[in-house]
Structure 1
C-alpha cells in the first residue's frame, strides 16, 4: 500500500523550515544582488570579475576540474556561464524565499551547493568556509525538498485557493504539499546517509578532517614550476599557483638562476620584476600573472609562461637551477637540467 506524508505533517514541516527557506534563499539571491546591483562583477578584465574568482577554484577542484579549465581557457564561454549562473542563482533564491515551486527550487539549491562544494570546497583560510557553505547548502536543499513550503508561501496560497494544478502529481513533486513517496522513512534515511557520506568524504579529501593530518591549502602560497626551455638568449618556464589565499596573489620578489653549487648567475630584483614586460608573460587563464607595484603578482589558479633574458650570463653551460622567492620568504626551487 502506498503511503504519503500527510497534509498536516507537511504543513507543520513547511512552517518549521520557514527561516531556513528564507535565509538559504537570500544566500543565493544575494550573489546576484552583489554581482549586478551593488556592483557589476560580470565584466571581464574589471576588478572583482567573478570569472577570475571562478578561476581560483581550478587547482584543487574535485570532479569538475576539466569543466573549470575549459571555461577559464575560453573567456567568452566563461562570461556567458557566469551570467547564466548568476541568473539561475537569482531565480532560485528569489523563488525559494517566496515559496513558489519550492521543491523544484530546492533541487536548484542542492545543485548549486554541490557545485560550490566540488569546485571551492578546498578554500577557506580560517574555518574551511567554502566546504561548510557547500555541505550545508546540499543538506538544506534536501530538507526543503522534503518539507516543501507551508504558511507564508505562494505554493500554500495556491493550495488554499484549491487551484486544480495543486492536486496533480507534478505539483506535489515540484511545489509543496504531501510528498508522494511510498516509504518516507527509507527515503529520508537513504538521502541523509548519502549526504552525510558526501560530507565526510569531501571533508577528508579537501582538509584531512576525518583522519590523518589536517591540512589547509588556503594558508600559504604554492607555485609549481615546469616546462623549462632555454636558448642562448633566454630561459622560459611555466608557473602555476595551486595553493594559498584566493583574496590576494603571491608576490614574487626574486627570480634567481643558479649553478649546481647554488651560486647566483642571474638575479631579478623586485624592481625588475615589477617592470617585467608583458611580452615576456604568456597567460593561459583569466587569472593573470602580471607585474605589480613592487613585485610580480601571481593570483591563485594563474598559469603563465615566463621568459627572462640571460644574455648577461657568460657561462650558460653552468645554468642548473631556478629559484623563485615570495615576499613571505617562501622559496620554490626547480632544477633546469
Structure 2
C-alpha cells in the first residue's frame, strides 16, 4: 500500500518537475521566434519594407544557390512575383511572431511548438548551407527543431495559459483537439502510441539533422568538406554565351556560391581563341564604366552592376552581361569568354555566334 502510494507520488512529482524543467526550453524557443517576427514588425521594419536596403528579399536571394529539395526554384519564382513574395514574407513573419509569443505564454503550446518545428525545417532547407567558418544557420535550425519537438511531446505543465484555460473550461479536458493543440494535458494516446510517436519524431529529428549536416559538411561518415555549394568561396556559373554581329559579347552569369557578407568583383574579362590565345580584353576600368543597360538582371534585388573594382555582385545574383566590341576582327573559330575575379579565380564558357 505504502509502496504503491509512493510510486504514484513519484509519478506526479515527475510530471510537475518535467514541467518546470522544460520551462526554460519553452521560453527561449518562444523568444527566438518572437524575436524574429518582432524585429521585422517592430524593431527593424526595414526588413519588410520593399523599398529598404534590408528588405528580406535580398536575404532570400542569397539562400537560393544552396537551397534543398527544389526550394531554389521556389525562391526564384517568388523573387520574380512581388506580391507572392511580399505576402509570403508578411505571413511567415506574423506566424513566427504569434507562435513565439504563444510559446512564451504557454498558449496553445503544442500547436505553437509544431509551427516552430515547421519553421525550423523550412529554414534548414533554405539557409542551412550558409556559414563560412561553421554552418551557423544549420546549427540554429537543428537546435530549434529538437526544442520544438520536445515541447510538442511534453506540453506545458507549469506557468502556462493553457492551464488557466483548462481551469475555466474543465470540460475541455475531454476534447482530443484541445489536448493536441494545448499543453496542459497529455496527448490522447495510449502509452504504446505515445512511445511510437516520440520515437518516430526522434528518428525524424536525428535523421533530418544529421543527414543535412553530412550533406552540407560531411564529418559523419565522410571527411569534412565545404559542401555542394561553397559558403565562403565565390563561384560564377556562365552559360548562353554569344558573339553578336557587331562584335559585342553577351553571357549569362549566376553567382551560385560564396559568402553573402561580401561582394564578388570581376576585374578582367578576356576573349580567347580556340588555342587559348587572348584576342580581346575588358580591363577593370572598362568594366567599371559599363552602363546600366549592360546588365539585364534576372531579379530586382541582388544584382550584377558596375562598381569601383570592375563588375560586382552578391550571392544569388543572376544576369545577362553585355560587353561592347573591343576588337576590329574576330576569328570564325570557337571562342571562349574568361572572367577573372579579385582573387585570381577564372571562370570560362564557350561562345556561339548569333545568326
After TM superposition, give the deviation of residue 229 of structure 1 in Å: 1.8
Indicate if the aligned counterparts of 2:270 and 2:337 stay in contact, CA closer than 8 A: yes
Inter-partner Cα distance in structure 2 for 1:246 and 1:163: 53
Aligned length: 332
Q: Which has the higher contact order (CA 8 A, sep 6+)?
A: 1
Inter-partner Cα distance in structure 2 for 1:9 and 1:325: 64
Inter-partner Cα distance in structure 1 for 2:92 and 2:147: 20
Matched, 1:314 2:352: no
Matched, 1:209 2:219: yes
Inter-partner Cα distance in structure 2 for 1:268 and 1:87: 48
Matched, 1:223 2:228: no
Inter-partner Cα distance in structure 1 for 2:284 and 2:49: 31
Match of 2:278 among 226, 250, 264: 264
2:4 is aligned to none
1:132 is aligned to 139
Match of 2:61 among 55, 65, 69: 55
Q: TM-score, normalised by structure 2?
A: 0.87
Matched, 1:302 2:334: no
Inter-partner Cα distance in structure 2 for 1:10 and 1:17: 11
Distance 1:229 1:10, change over 3 A: farther
Q: What are the ranges of 5 or more consecutive residues in structure 2 without an aligned counterpart?
A: 1-10
- The 3-state SS of whatever aligns with 2:47 is coil
Indicate if the aligned counterparts of 2:266 and 2:312 stay in contact, CA closer than 8 A: yes
Matched, 1:181 2:189: yes
1:151 is aligned to 158
2:267 is aligned to 253
After TM superposition, give the deviation of residue 319 of structure 1 in Å: 6.3
2:7 is aligned to none
- The 3-state SS of whatever aligns with 2:303 is coil
Q: What are the ranges of 5 or more consecutive residues in structure 1 without an aligned counterpart?
A: 1-5
2:92 is aligned to 85
Indicate if the aligned counterparts of 1:265 and 1:319 stay in contact, CA closer than 8 A: no
Indicate if the aligned counterparts of 2:241 and 2:349 stay in contact, CA closer than 8 A: no
1:34 is aligned to 39
Matched, 1:289 2:304: yes
How far does the alpha carbon of each residue in 1:275-305 deviate from its partner, in whole angstroms, 9 at most, with x for none? Answer: 3212111111232222223332221111111
Inter-partner Cα distance in structure 2 for 1:54 and 1:251: 21
2:119 is aligned to 112
Inter-partner Cα distance in structure 2 for 1:246 and 1:79: 21
Distance 1:55 1:187, change over 3 A: same
After TM superposition, give the deviation of residue 129 of structure 1 in Å: 0.9
Distance 1:335 1:163, change over 3 A: same
- Which one has the largest radius of gyration? 2
After TM superposition, give the deviation of residue 105 of structure 1 in Å: 0.2
Inter-partner Cα distance in structure 2 for 1:272 and 1:51: 30
How far does the alpha carbon of each residue in 1:217-261 deviate from its partner, in whole angstroms, 9 at most, with x for none? Answer: 112001100011221221111101111002222122121222234
Inter-partner Cα distance in structure 2 for 1:92 and 1:280: 46
1:70 is aligned to 77
Match of 2:19 among 14, 20, 24: 14
After TM superposition, give the deviation of residue 271 of structure 1 in Å: 2.6
Indicate if the aligned counterparts of 1:241 and 1:299 stay in contact, CA closer than 8 A: yes
Q: TM-score, normalised by structure 1?
A: 0.92
